[in-house]
């Protein structure tokens, strides 16, 4: 069977190098090997409050960044989730197959709900909708960072359950592609938490659109430890380990090579070189982003992507509705 991949990045904030390491940097290589659907899961972004103007701007920003990173829209479908109504429709149907207990076990929900006075029911049910995103396109593979493994497991369980309850082999069971290097990039201010778009502290993240001086300044201030040795040890040295991970993603060097290069050298020059490696990769991305953002070509790509996605999704949705007993 042909390999088919679905992946996307939520427009819940400005993109940072966490999402770049865990997702965007791998998209181009994926399209060489598979039929790819790269979407912008804007329906998922609104599971927590989003300012409407910012949501629109960030959604367009992510679409432009996909192309700037090298996604070829002739090969891969690039589209907004909200422009393909089948996502919401299958999402509802998958919700009917999901137990409240299963959703309650999702650690991402627990983390996100923690400390909030009011939580939308959509934040709770979102994993069933994520399952629908994947199953709608019969994705054979889904790249997952550390934080998404549990959600993909749920999607697999739902697919198996649906196939056995209604119709064998209707859904393809998606396999995870576990991101290797880059799957764990932590906040610069607190290496116990992942670098997140929704973190209001701007110095916790390197944004993909940051100016070189901001990048240098943020890395210089990144939390490390007092040992002064550049080595990877996630338990004892999460700050340096995360910086090593970033260095590896942006330089192409292995963690081992970087450790050897900085033997006997303090954190200062390691951080300076790390900043330059990141700047060198982000500059061409930013340049190409500026050419693409706001262009008519981008609008065309998104329109075409939504049409292609809707066509692929329609076949699955019809089969699901028939299997469940709807009059279609």
Q: Is 185 in the site for ligand AQP (CB under 6 A)?
A: yes
Three-state SS for the chain is CCCEEEEECCCCCCCEHHHHHHHHHHHHHHHHHCEEEEEECHHHHCCCCCCHHHHHHHHHHHHHHHHHCCCCCCCCEEEEHHHCCHHHHHHHHHHCCCCHHHHHCCHHHHHHHCCCCCCCHHHHHHHHHHHHHHHHCCCCEEEECHHHHHHHHHHHHHHHHHHHHCCCCCCCCCEEEECCCCCCCECCCCCCCECCCCCCCHHHCCECCCCHHHHHHHHHHCCCCCCCCCCCECCCEHHHHHHHHHHHHHHCCCHHHHHHHCCCCCHHHHHHHHHHHHHHHHHHHHHHHHHHCCCHHHHHHHHHHHHHHHHHHHHHHHHHHHHHCCCC
State which residue, 111 or 291, has the beta carbon closest to ligand AQP: 111
Using CB under 6 A as the binding rule, whether residue 238 contacts ligand AQP is answered as no
**Residue 177 within binding range of ligand AQP, rule CB under 6 A:** no
Q: Give the integer Cα–Cα distance in Å for 29 and 316.
A: 27
Binding mask 65-84 for ligand AQP (x = CB under 6 A): --------------------
- Per CB under 6 A, the list member of 6, 9, 67, 69 interacting with ligand AQP is 9
Q: Is residue 10 a contact point for ligand AQP (CB under 6 A)?
A: yes
91 binds ligand AQP, rule: CB under 6 A: no
Q: Which two tokens stand for residue 120?
A: 């939308």
Contact 52, 94 (CB under 8 A): no
Minimum distance from CB of 108 to ligand AQP (Å)?
7
- Judged by CB under 6 A, the residue of 4, 6, 22, 285 near ligand AQP is 22
Q: Which is nearer to ligand AQP, 44 or 216 (CB)?
A: 44
Name which of 27 and 289 has its Cβ closer to ligand AQP.
Answer: 27
Shortest Cβ contact with ligand AQP: which residue? 22
Q: Hey, which residues are catalytic here?
A: 112, 194, 197
CB nearer to ligand AQP: pick between 41 and 305: 41
- CB closer to ligand AQP, 9 vs 215: 9
Distances (CA, A) of 221 to 182, 185, 225: 21, 16, 12
Nearest approach in angstroms of CB 194 to ligand AQP is 4
Residues 192-211 binding ligand AQP (CB under 6 A) are: 194-198
Contact 232, 241 (CB under 8 A): yes
- By beta-carbon proximity to ligand AQP, the closer residue of 172 and 204 is 204
Q: Confirm or reject binding of residue 139 to ligand AQP (CB under 6 A).
A: no
Residue 190, φ and ψ in degrees, nearest 5: -150, 95
Quick check: 141 binds ligand AQP (CB under 6 A)?
A: no
For ligand AQP, which is the closer residue by CB, 93 or 152? 152
**Binding ligand AQP by CB under 6 A: which of 18, 73, 91, 191?**
18
Residue from 91, 127, 145, 239 in contact with ligand AQP (CB under 6 A): 145
- From candidates 5, 21, 34, 84, binder to ligand AQP by CB under 6 A: 21
CB of 313 to ligand AQP, least distance (A): 19
Binding site for ligand AQP (CB under 6 A): 9-10, 12-13, 18-19, 21-23, 144-145, 147-148, 183-185, 194-198
């Amino acid at each position: 069977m042909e390999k088919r991949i679905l992946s996307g990045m939520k427009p819940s904030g400005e993109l940072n190098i966490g999402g770049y390491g865990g997702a965007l940097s791998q998209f181009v290589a994926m399209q060489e090997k598979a039929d790819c659907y790269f979407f912008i899961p804007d329906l998922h972004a609104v599971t927590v409050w989003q300012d409407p103007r910012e949501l629109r701007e960030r959604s367009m920003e992510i679409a432009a960044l996909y192309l700037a990173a090298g996604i070829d829209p002739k090969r891969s479908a690039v589209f907004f989730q909200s422009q393909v109504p089948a996502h919401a429709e299958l999402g509802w149907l998958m919700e009917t197959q999901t137990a409240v207990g299963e959703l309650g076990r999702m650690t991402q929900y627990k983390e996100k709900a923690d400390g909030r006075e009011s939580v939308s029911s959509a934040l709770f049910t979102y994993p069933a909708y994520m399952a629908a995103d994947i199953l709608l396109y019969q994705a054979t593979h889904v790249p997952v960072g550390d934080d998404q493994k549990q959600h993909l497991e749920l999607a697999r369980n739902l697919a198996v359950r649906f196939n056995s309850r209604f119709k064998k082999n209707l859904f393809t069971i998606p396999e995870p592609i576990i991101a290797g290097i880059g799957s764990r990039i932590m906040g610069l201010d607190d290496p116990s938490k992942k670098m997140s778009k929704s973190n209001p502290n701007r110095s916790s993240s390197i944004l993909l659109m940051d100016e070189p001086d901001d990048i240098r300044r943020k890395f210089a201030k990144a939390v490390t430890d007092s040992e002064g040795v550049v080595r990877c040890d996630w338990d004892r040295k999460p700050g340096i380990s995360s910086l090593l991970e970033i260095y590896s993603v942006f330089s192409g060097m292995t963690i081992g090579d970087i450790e050897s290069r900085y033997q006997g050298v303090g954190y200062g020059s390691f951080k300076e070189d790390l900043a330059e490696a990141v700047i060198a990769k982000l500059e061409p991305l930013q340049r190409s982003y500026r050419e693409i953002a706001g262009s008519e070509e981008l609008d065309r790509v998104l329109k075409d992507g939504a049409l292609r996605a809707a066509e692929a999704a329609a076949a699955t949705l019809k089969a699901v509705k028939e299997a469940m007993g709807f009059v279609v």
